[in-house]
A = this chain, B = another copy of it.
Amino acid sequence: MDTREQIIQLADNLIRDKGYNAFSFYDISKTVGIKTASVHYHFPAKSDLGVSVIEQHIHNLHVLREKLNSKSPVEKLDKFFSIYASIKNENKVCLVGSLATDFNTLDKKIKNKLKIFSDNMLDWVSEFLQEGRDSNLFQFEGSPRTKAMMIISNMLAIVQLSRLTGDKDFKTVKDTIKQELIKK
């Protein structure tokens, strides 16, 4: 992994661990083993780094969608859950949740990119929910978009909330959502 990628990876972890306004170029530099000025060589401003972190997530989601394209809605749902399970496992939160709380302090470029990412995520989940209902695998009322919004917000929040209430609440909520969606 080259330096640039390493910086993005690290920034991503820091944002989801401590929040955007709690990490600095010094945190990056000491771990990568270069000076802060060298981090600025790759990313002139902190907001440029923020934008790149989100772009990485957009790209990863795109690749995942392609990969799962021909798989069943249940497999897609499981993969969706497993993303949040590993977030929880690392005691982090999801990118959208983290940046949403800092939203009013962010650069316009970051805000716009983040909107694109959350739209993509919402689009993907809506799509496989619809697909699952059409093939009688899932049951839910209302539009797929609304259901997607509810499932995403449940997962987004439970990784945050279970930092306080205990990690096993994550599993309980995840299992309940799946059960409600799949039971017949």
Q: Report A's interface with B, CB cutoff 8 A.
A: 17-19, 21-22, 91, 93, 96-98, 100-105, 114-115, 118-119, 122, 141-142, 146, 149-150, 152-154, 156-158, 160-161, 163-165, 169, 172-173, 176-177, 180
The 4 closest A-B pairs by CB, nearest first: A153-B157, A157-B157, A100-B160, A21-B21
Is there contact, CB below 8 Å, between B161 and A149?
yes
**Across-interface contacts of A149 in B (CB, < 8 A):** 158, 161, 165, 169, 172-173
Q: Known contacts being A101-B101, A157-B153, is A122 close to B18, with CB within 8 Å?
A: no
Q: Which of A93, A161, A173 has the most CB of B within 10 A?
A: A161
C-alpha gap A161/B85 in the complex (Å): 19
Is there contact, CB below 8 Å, between A19 and B18?
no
CB distance from A146 to the nearest CB of B (A): 5
C-alpha gap A156/B6 in the complex (Å): 32
**Across-interface contacts of A157 in B (CB, < 8 A):** 97, 152-154, 156-157, 160
Is there contact, CB below 8 Å, between A102 and B164?
no
**Across-interface contacts of A98 in B (CB, < 8 A):** 101
Is there contact, CB below 8 Å, between B146 and A156?
no
**Across-interface contacts of A19 in B (CB, < 8 A):** 19, 21, 101-102, 105
Is there contact, CB below 8 Å, between A161 and B22?
no
**Residue contacts A-B, CB under 8 angstroms, 24 given:** A18-B105, A19-B102, A21-B21, A21-B22, A22-B105, A96-B160, A96-B161, A97-B97, A97-B157, A101-B101, A101-B160, A103-B163, A115-B165, A118-B164, A142-B176, A146-B176, A149-B165, A150-B173, A150-B176, A152-B157, A153-B157, A153-B173, A154-B157, A156-B160
